[in-house]
Structure 1
Amino acid sequence: MKIASRKPAEAMPPRMGALAKLPVFFDLAGKRAVLAGNSAGAAWKAELLAAAGADVAIYASEPSEEMLAIVARGAEAGSLTLLERPWSLDIFTHAALAVGDFEDEAEAKAFRCAARASGVIVNTVDKPETCDFLFGSIVNRSPVVIGISTDGAAPILGQGIRRRIEMLLPPSLADWAGRAQAIRQRVMGRLKPGPERRRFWEAFTDLAFRDKARADDAAIDAMIGESCLAGGATGGRVTLVGAGPGDADLLTIKAVRALQSADVILFDDLVSDAVLELARREAKRMMVGKRGARESCAQGDINTLMMGLARQGKHVVRLKSGDPMVFGRAGEEIEALEKAGIPVSVVPGITSAQALAMSLNRSLTHRDHAQSLMLVTGHSRQGELPDTIDWALAASGRATLVIYMGARQAGAIVAALRQHGMGGATPAIAMASLSRPEEARWEGCLDALPQGVTTLPAGAPILIGIGSVFASRNEAIAAEAFRQAV
């Protein structure tokens, strides 16, 4: 069967979704900020403003113990000045922003009106309806600062997110970020804008997350030199990245890093939008669809495109569904790239057989059922069932058989297995769109498989599993009870 060919098509990056609030970072160094309030919460806000470099004037007629302690201790940056009196209309002169902490709703509104009349933006604690801006949870690795907002809906959720980010970011990141500021001019002076600079900063970032000690000047100069040498027209590279079965949570950290550093992403039809959302927004996206029995880009065209882009000095990510090395034609692409002298590397992904086991909570090599696992393709170059499969082993009952791209050949698969002695009652399963929200499954016996796959959504990627490990839970319980009885 001859499949029509199509050309690679450029895809638009996904449109940015609606933002509840625009996250911005406000430079308060040397600016005046005013704060009115007595509580411990107001004291924390005062310390936060001062930490950002503001000179904070605190108006508190009855300051809390926390407020007194924070003022007595002083600020790491900026300054804290306590004025033990109520706020008044004249306090907003020359202020960059104002914060008020009031129990009374009417006072909060009056504070906001007075601030706005002076052209000052205002926040009233726990009263979002009278706020021009909101505070969020903060991860402080200054000069790296991460702000987290839930638009006031769930502050505890924001704090939980902060704790998880804190665990991912080493405390030494602050030193690395400071180092980045110190060497920025040197990097800009020696490296050209675009791929050269990005290549350096990617290497710098990888080092920051791997090593606790900061790189010395000699190491920085060596990295700059390597980026210069690799920055020419032949300095591109290709990374084959496994996108997994669809669920973006199944991507490896290394895969996300590759997507974040890509100049161009060549992706297959089966790659989910959720995975593409994790890519660098500036990266050019091109669909080079490869689907069995569908109009697809010719492999030669994809190879030529990868080589051409890499020769322009670009980092090309070839994003493949599942694992690139399992029925993903990675071998052909690697061979073409290596012959052309283009650096190529591989980032593994979760293959569909693993997603099948995950979805079913079944071990594919349970020692009571199977001593081997066979992953085979149901789709040859000619679009038919391959004639090189060891059907005798597959039908022996000692192996779990997982068939990729086999739905169209389900009848031929059953015939081959039956011919080699597999019983028609052998458990079988077919699953469509594994790990995605639209995941669907059929379970039954081998003889019912050809009809079973037709009950799954048309056009969805389908994986077939055959073997005793796929017996239904009720059957497994009954079989175990029978074995114990005898």
Structure 2
Amino acid sequence: MHSLPIFLDLRGKPVVLIGDGEAAAAKRRLIERAGGLVVDEGDPAARIGFVALDDDHAAEAAVTRLRARGLIVNAADRPALCDFTLPAIVDRDPVLVAIGTGGRSAGLGKALRQRLEALLPADLGRLAEALFAARARIRARWADADGRRRAIDRGLSENGPLDPLRGGAAGRCEDWLTGEGADMPDRLVAIRLRSADPDDLSLGEARLLGQADRVFHRPDVPPAILARARADAAREPCAAPPVSPGGGLSIDLGYA
């Protein structure tokens, strides 16, 4: 991973913008859309800066000045001068999907954004709001944190009652919360790898890895495949999984 994706709350905060023309206007629109206040270079409260200048020397000088004051800086069309880059954004407020290419190709980021725009329902943000509003009830029904996470995972799974890629999921939240069968049963699933390439995983296998509570894997399974599991999933190298692997979803991962 070449950089750490983060979401900054810019509401009411000063943001330096140096430049003019269409590139600067685009940055201004983005800052203001996020609630930031565009200020000039001299504002002492600013901690973030954008530079949109055509001249290479002027852009480098502006970046140097801002960095000397402790600002982190984005320089339009100059990845080598950037402390951070701007992703392509799919906005389903409050759900935001950010696609970054490390400054390599804005066109690729745009193409991926357009594909995702077509996939994600326009009312996806309503599902996030419905789940937020139901937090107390969700905690009351599933007091155990692991059980709660598994229930939410099952609800949001493909073809589940809250499947986020199906429109109208927010309207099904009440039925999911009060219905039967929302708890995910304990299970152990074997995945047999065909190669060391994570792209050879089927969609179903990749989905299972992303949902697993723990992964029992052979020592020769490469890190690139283990990285497809949830970041907080336990990873346990072993010759074979234990007889009682534990609650939730466990994966037995090895080669065929």
Q: TM-score range by the shorter chain?
A: 0.7 to 0.9
Measure, in 1, the Cα distance between the counterparts of 2:147 and 2:97.
27
CA RMSD of aligned residues (A): 3.1
List per-residue Cα deviations over 1:431-450 (Å, max 9, x = no partner).
xxxxxxxxxxxxxxxxxxxx
Cα drift, residue 134 of structure 1: 1.9
TM-score, normalised relative to structure 2: 0.79
Look up the equivalent residue of 1:197 and give its one-letter code. Answer: R
Tell me what 1:314 maps to: 248
Q: 1:212 & 1:265 partners in 2: Cα distance? A: 32
Percent identity over the alignment is 30
| Structure 2 partner of 1:94 | 45
Judged with a 3 Å threshold, the aligned counterparts in structure 2 of structure 1 residues 27 and 189 are, in CA distance, closer, same or farther, namely: farther
For residues 95 and 148 of structure 1, the distance between their equivalents in structure 2, rounded to whole angstroms, comes to 26
Counterpart residue type for residue 249 of structure 2: H
3-state DSSP class of the match of 1:27?
A: coil
Q: Are the aligned partners of 1:200 and 1:224 in contact in 2 as well (CA < 8 Å)?
A: no
Shift of 1:117: 4.7
Three-state SS of the structure 2 residue aligned to 1:151 is: coil
Q: Deviations over 1:13-61 (max 9, x none)?
A: xxxxxx432222111122122323222222221111122221334xxxx
Alignment check: 8 A CA contact 2:10 2:35 kept: yes
CA shift for structure 1 position 101: 1.0
> What does residue 21 of structure 2 align with?
39
Identify the residue that residue 260 of structure 1 maps to in structure 2: 210
SS in 2 for 1:209: coil
Asked whether the equivalents of residues 130 and 173 of structure 2 are also in contact (C-alpha less than 8 Å), the reply is: no
- Equivalent-residue separation in structure 2 for 1:125 and 1:210 (angstroms): 34
Matched, 1:222 2:178: yes
Superposed CA offset, 1:368-402 (max 9, x none): xxxxxxxxxxxxxxxxxxxxxxxxxxxxxxxxxxx
Q: 1:319 to 1:34 in 2, by over 3 A?
A: same
Q: What displacement does 1:268 show?
A: 4.9
Q: Distance in 1 between matches of 2:44 and 2:73?
A: 13
- Over 3 Å counting, the alpha-carbon distance change for 1:126 and 1:281 in structure 2 is same
Partner-residue secondary structure (3-state), 2:253: strand
Deviations 1:192-245 (A, max 9, x none): 353212112202322223531123453242269844xx6xxxx52223445445
> Alpha-carbon deviation of 1:173?
2.8
Contact 2:120 2:165 in 1 (8 A): no
- Give the match's secondary structure for 2:171: coil
In 2, distance between residues paired with 1:271 and 1:175?
Answer: 40
- Say whether 1:197 aligns with 2:112: no
For 1:179, the equivalent position in structure 2 comes to 130
Question: What secondary structure sits across from 2:48 in the alignment?
Answer: strand
Counterparts of 1:156 and 1:133 in 2: how far apart (Å)? 18
Deviation at 1:156, TM superposition (A): 2.6
Which entry has the higher C-alpha Rg, 1 or 2?
Answer: 1
Partner of 2:155: helix, strand, or coil? helix
In 1, Cα distance between equivalents of 2:52 and 2:214: 49
The one-letter code matched in structure 1 to 2:166 is D
Structure 1's unaligned 5+ residue stretches are 1-18, 58-86, 290-296, 323-486
2:138, 2:177 within 8 Å by CA — same for their partners in 1? no
Q: Which amino acid aligns with 1:218?
A: E
Go from structure 1 to structure 2 and tell me whether the alpha carbon gap of 1:56 and 1:186 turns closer, same or farther (over 3 Å shift).
farther
Match of 2:59 among 83, 108, 128: 108
Deviations 1:268-324 (A, max 9, x none): 5775654333112322233454xxxxxxx5xxxx5xx24x223xx2321233545xx
Distance 1:225 1:192, change over 3 A: farther
Q: 1:279 to 1:56 in 2, by over 3 A?
A: same
Alignment coverage as a number of residue pairs:
251
The aligned counterpart of 2:103 is 152
Given residue 309 of structure 1, which amino acid in structure 2 is its aligned partner? Answer: P
What is aligned with 1:128?
79
Go from structure 1 to structure 2 and tell me whether the alpha carbon gap of 1:53 and 1:181 turns closer, same or farther (over 3 Å shift): farther
Q: Contact 1:187–1:224 at 8 Å: present in 2 too?
A: no
- Partner Cα distance (1:98, 1:246) in 2: 42
Matched to 2:62, the amino acid is F
Gaps of 5+ in 2: none
Match of 1:209 in 2: 164
Contact 1:243 1:275 in 2 (8 A): no
Amino acid corresponding to residue 222 of structure 1 in structure 2: T
Secondary structure at the counterpart of residue 286 of structure 1: strand
1:190 shift after superposition: 4.4
CA distance in 2, matches of 1:187, 1:93: 44
